[in-house]
Structure 1
């Protein structure tokens, strides 16, 4: 299987050894951050630093001033990497080491944008704003995200893009000093806390037959027992989770809300893919691939945005699917994408940082299981964050997988088969 690992430009910029070290792992591709959210990252192998603090969402290249002239919403520049174009510097070095580079673009997850433009973010049924989650139903937000995707995706040297948070974001967020664990919400109640009740979304619900104020009132009624200590229904699994949403909200209200949200997410995803492909065509990049980080349950929010599997594979070149969490979780995540058009990619995303819940020691077995479920590529999170022991396990697993693939190719009579 073709294997790629995620990486930040600061893992490479200033470290001349990094590209060769990554190539020696047996990777075919690096998915390199071009537009990313705030983070604090350990860089344990870098010769000049150990911690990088990206204070806010930013692009890791110089944005085109003409593209953004006169626009209220525009990408923020970074100043934590001492390089005018960290993406380009890193991409050139990685390409020289024989690694194909694809850009990694985070879209509807941007706390600074929400702080600067508080009227444009998701607002829950209680009126609380989520500054990390721009409301994708708003035309100005959608326009910003489409423009950002086109610019950040098609950077010099990139052969494709992987789009994260290309859909609804909600309550769940890796926030600093989070204090949300006092009540166990479960997936269904978390979904209700993620529903946007801003004026644009309320108008959208009304278009689908819901009276003004009906959605926030229904959410508050459904959640009142939860705040009083009742355990909310959850159902288990994606289908059971949605059944619990219908139980909490009522099937008619739940259906109308989901129809509005599906419409907004689908419109954004189609517009983003179209804009990226147009940008790649203008840049004369043949074979530029557009993949979305995706969850096969359309109602889910977050970095792996909920999608309709058939619709997204008819639009994009493929998906990157979260597959950490064991065999059952992998089957549930990959199964809905199994009947797919020829030539599309279903990449199994596996965490290989043991300290972040990953299992680098079982990578070969996990990859084989993902392949049996229909995955045809691997994504490994994250080559820069992984420790020495994690990377040693990755190296061994990828060598074993490549030997296995080579043996199958010889057994079939093929002279040699490139990774698929």
Structure 2
């Protein structure tokens, strides 16, 4: 059961001890960020810094000339990951005996939304989500597909993991976030993540819906939520709020948009990659879920990609729906948080890995070798040895 640790280039570059320290955990691989959203990250062992502020979504390598024909294009990182930060880190990690796979964040980009507001998801109230590009828009799709191919297939990478390859909605850890005052529940999250940009309005029309009536129905369905009466019946509450037929029609539009984007992005990566290059998606088996782990249909996504990376948090595993559709060589990677300060339980790693295996996992992902404390890393080392 192979194990890989997530890591950022800034965890490695400038710290000669980092590659050996990561290898000593007992992992076979690292999943190294090549394109990443804005963040503020702790670096508890780096000899030069303790906090890295990535000010905007960026590629962590020099983008090439393919972007000359695109209006939407990625930005290289600032001083938090200058030059070919990915390539430098990948070479150091490979020298320590670690296989390197790229980690590519796609439809999660606040700078894109700030510079090109029309690309963003628009909710039923008319509010834009600058962090969430609307994946139905042709120019946005072209940008994401091109970025997937370039960022995934970096020199030194033998595979990739594509994050946020689907709908991104309301849920987002924004700077000084103040959105937790009202519990939305699963249904509220879906309703607040429905997009009403011009392309999506036309898409709802293709499904037989009037976009204005749909937006009004979504707002009416959300009224009990704002009064603090949210339930957590997930899709049942969406159907009650919008009507079963309208709910199904919104889902049909969104699923078609996401599926075709996923197919095209995976195909673009494969076309750019050498033989044997593995393409995985960070995924959730509930197709209407939004976020970094894109909602997918398990049978469909495993017919397109080599496998999935699935979050396994607080003992809740979503692997079984994928396991039912896995092939002999399908990768089912259980993503376990091993940072205590972020709710992880590194001391329970062996037990959690065993449970994930029972649910169908054949690989592990450990989030996150750069963010974890020394005590957390010691627990990971012990857990992998025991495992």
**TM-score of the aligned structures, taking structure 2 as reference length:** 0.98
Identify the residue that residue 390 of structure 1 maps to in structure 2.
376
Identify the residue that residue 276 of structure 2 maps to in structure 1.
287
Residue 79 of structure 1, CA deviation: 1.4
Q: Deviating runs (4+, > 6 A) in structure 1?
A: none
Identify the residue that residue 357 of structure 1 maps to in structure 2.
343
In the alignment, does 2:113 pair up with 1:114? yes
1:205-244 equivalences in 2 (<5 Å): 205-227=204-226, 229-235=227-233, 241-244=234-237
Aligned-partner SS, 1:196: coil
Identify the residue that residue 322 of structure 2 maps to in structure 1.
337
Q: Counterparts of 1:181 and 1:15 in 2: how far apart (Å)?
A: 37
The superposition leaves residues 142-187 of structure 1 with CA deviations (integer Å, 9 ceiling, x where unpaired) of 0000000000000000000000000000000001111112222111
Residue 224 of structure 1, CA deviation: 1.8
**In 2, are the aligned partners of 1:2 and 1:28 still within 8 Å (CA)?**
yes
Q: Counterparts of 2:193 and 2:314 in 1: how far apart (Å)?
A: 23
**In 2, are the aligned partners of 1:53 and 1:80 still within 8 Å (CA)?**
no
The superposition leaves residues 9-30 of structure 1 with CA deviations (integer Å, 9 ceiling, x where unpaired) of 0001011111011111101000
Residue 214 of structure 1, CA deviation: 2.0
**In 2, are the aligned partners of 1:197 and 1:215 still within 8 Å (CA)?**
no
Identify the residue that residue 123 of structure 1 maps to in structure 2.
122
Q: Counterparts of 1:212 and 1:394 in 2: how far apart (Å)?
A: 50
Aligned-partner SS, 2:5: strand
Q: Counterparts of 1:338 and 1:269 in 2: how far apart (Å)?
A: 19
Q: Which of 366, 373, 376 is the equivalent residue of 2:362?
A: 376
**In 2, are the aligned partners of 1:114 and 1:121 still within 8 Å (CA)?**
yes
Aligned length: 386
Identify the residue that residue 301 of structure 1 maps to in structure 2.
290
Identify the residue that residue 32 of structure 1 maps to in structure 2.
32
Aligned-partner SS, 1:130: strand
Structure 1 residues 150 and 82, CA, compared in 2 at 3 Å: closer, same or farther? closer
Residue 230 of structure 1, CA deviation: 4.6
Q: Counterparts of 2:48 and 2:290 in 1: how far apart (Å)?
A: 37
Identify the residue that residue 49 of structure 1 maps to in structure 2.
49
Q: Counterparts of 2:17 and 2:210 in 1: how far apart (Å)?
A: 61
Q: Counterparts of 2:211 and 2:121 in 1: how far apart (Å)?
A: 18
The superposition leaves residues 62-101 of structure 1 with CA deviations (integer Å, 9 ceiling, x where unpaired) of 000x200032100011112364110000000000100000
**In 2, are the aligned partners of 1:360 and 1:394 still within 8 Å (CA)?**
yes
**TM-score of the aligned structures, taking structure 1 as reference length:** 0.91
**In 1, are the aligned partners of 2:35 and 2:151 still within 8 Å (CA)?**
yes
Identify the residue that residue 322 of structure 1 maps to in structure 2.
311
In the alignment, does 2:250 pair up with 1:265? no
**In 1, are the aligned partners of 2:3 and 2:364 still within 8 Å (CA)?**
yes
Report the structure number with the largest CA radius of gyration. 1
Pairwise CA RMSD: 0.9
Q: Counterparts of 1:263 and 1:187 in 2: how far apart (Å)?
A: 21
**In 1, are the aligned partners of 2:183 and 2:228 still within 8 Å (CA)?**
no
1:63-142 equivalences in 2 (<5 Å): 63-64=63-64, 66-81=65-80, 83-142=82-141
Identify the residue that residue 277 of structure 1 maps to in structure 2.
270
Residue 201 of structure 1, CA deviation: 0.3
Q: Counterparts of 2:384 and 2:211 in 1: how far apart (Å)?
A: 55
**In 2, are the aligned partners of 1:314 and 1:341 still within 8 Å (CA)?**
no
Aligned-partner SS, 2:32: strand
**In 2, are the aligned partners of 1:125 and 1:197 still within 8 Å (CA)?**
yes
Q: Counterparts of 1:320 and 1:337 in 2: how far apart (Å)?
A: 10
Structure 1 residues 42 and 230, CA, compared in 2 at 3 Å: closer, same or farther? closer
Residue 212 of structure 1, CA deviation: 3.8
Q: Counterparts of 2:183 and 2:358 in 1: how far apart (Å)?
A: 35
Aligned-partner SS, 1:158: coil
Identify the residue that residue 168 of structure 2 maps to in structure 1.
169
Residue 293 of structure 1, CA deviation: 0.1
Aligned-partner SS, 1:14: coil
